[in-house]
Amino acid sequence: MPLAVKLTFYKAAIPVARHQVSAFGSGHTHAVERFNCTLRQRVSRLVRLSLSFSKKLANQIGAIKYVICHYNQEVLRHA
């Protein structure tokens, strides 16, 4: 998929007021990438389809919210 098409998806998904462009290689995306990696590791149901599978979407969303809340509490405690 061309980069121009990808950027139009971002513009549609993220409000202009919250969107910040970072130069390639600037290192400003490390916090987001770290959070994505942590979320993927802690919520195994995002990685595997057979293990920890939720039949209900509400259970899936609840598990993700739980991990995010726990992660935020850890970050605040260690800050």
Range of the domain at 30: 3-78
Count of structural domains, the chain: 1
52 has a pLDDT exceeding 70 = no
Residue 23: CB atoms within 10 A of its CB come to 7
Across the chain, what does the average pLDDT equal? 78
Distance (Å, rounded) from C-alpha 35 to C-alpha 63? 16
Give percent of the chain above pLDDT 70. Answer: 82
Q: In what helix (H) or strand (E) does residue 41 lie, and over which residues does it extend? A: helix 30-42
Whole-model pTM: value is 0.53
